[in-house]
Amino acid sequence: VSAPGVAGGFPIRYVVHGGRPAVDLVLVVEADASYSIEVRTEQSLPQSPPLRLGRFAGRIEPDALQALVRVRARARVGNGGVAPFETISRLIGSGTGQLETVGPDDLDAVDVDNWLATTAVGALESPVAAVAVEAAAGDGSAEELVITAIGREPFRLVVFDPEQNTFPTIWRDLPGRPGTRAFVEYDVFERLASAGAIPVGVTELEPGESIRLPLPPAGAGQQESRGGFVFYQAGDGPARAAVSGTWSGALAS
């Protein structure tokens, strides 16, 4: 693939972010048409279990790349005024330049989005620094959330950092009123950290390594077992990016 001319040069960074359901996706395309894609929320790309989050790699098709280049050419600095609630932002940048806003009606951006949703999803099979997250049976009748590093590079995460007031958010959906959830409280993580069961501060989870986090106990008579989680990917300096998704599993009888 011969790279087309791009103002600002490569790499091209294409960011899709925001909204509800939450999307957090960063595509970085190099001049040789290779790309990496950061996927931090479950809803960012369609996928099937196990849930995979982190950085993945692939090669972009010429049509998609040309569309991306055209999007870059039309992007403008600044925001687009007031967007409707839940509007997901699309930003693009090239070289070392800042991110610029993609117009909401940019048809090439739509093509890029569709390429991401249908083709780039295949990159999930090529993890670079990523994790797989799923619920599993723990001790006794308890269930645990298991975060396992996949790919060829370590996955940098922060599970618990009392100095930064950082701790995971893990919940179980409870029966009864819609939206009722039970969360794992800060104290639980504090005890686990004191016991050495979970790491404190930035941790590099080597490929194949796992961290097991507690899930809230099920409600009385609860038949379904499902919930969600958020933990943090460590970035440069103080950067902490939320990594989120849902979990489900069969309750032990």
Q: Which is nearer to other proteins, 48 or 253 (CB)?
A: 48
Q: Which is nearer to other proteins, 9 or 162 (CB)?
A: 162
Q: How far is the CB of 238 from other proteins (least distance, A)?
A: 4
Q: Which is nearer to other proteins, 2 or 85 (CB)?
A: 85
CA 185 to each of CA 26, 81, 105, 182, 197: distance values in angstroms, whole numbers, following the listed order = 31, 39, 43, 9, 16
Give the residues lining the site for other proteins (CB under 8 A).
15-26, 38, 43-44, 46, 79, 81-91, 98-99, 104, 109-110, 113-114, 116-117, 164-167, 169, 171, 173, 177-181, 183-186, 228, 230, 232, 235-242, 244, 246
Measured between alpha carbons, how far is 1 from 97 in angstroms, rounded to an integer? Answer: 24
Q: How far is the CB of 68 from other proteins (least distance, A)?
A: 15
Q: How far is the CB of 210 from other proteins (least distance, A)?
A: 22
Question: Among 192, 15, 9, 37, which residue's Cα sits nearest to residue 90?
Answer: 15
CA 217 to each of CA 97, 212, 228, 250: distance values in angstroms, whole numbers, following the listed order = 48, 15, 13, 13
Q: Which is nearer to other proteins, 44 or 148 (CB)?
A: 44
Q: How far is the CB of 181 from other proteins (least distance, A)?
A: 5
Q: Which is nearer to other proteins, 83 or 137 (CB)?
A: 83
Q: What are phi and psi of 75, to 5 degrees?
A: -65, 150
Q: Which residues pair with 89 in a beta bridge?
A: 17
Q: How far is the CB of 196 from other proteins (least distance, A)?
A: 22
CA 220 to each of CA 98, 140, 176, 188, 223: distance values in angstroms, whole numbers, following the listed order = 52, 16, 11, 21, 9
Q: How far is the CB of 208 from other proteins (least distance, A)?
A: 26
Q: Which is nearer to other proteins, 86 or 125 (CB)?
A: 86
Measured between alpha carbons, how far is 69 from 63 in angstroms, rounded to an integer? Answer: 10
Q: Which is nearer to other proteins, 179 or 208 (CB)?
A: 179
Q: Which residues contact 84 (CB under 8 A, 6 or more apart)?
A: none
Q: How far is the CB of 248 from other proteins (least distance, A)?
A: 12
Neighbour tally for 252: CB within 10 Å: 12
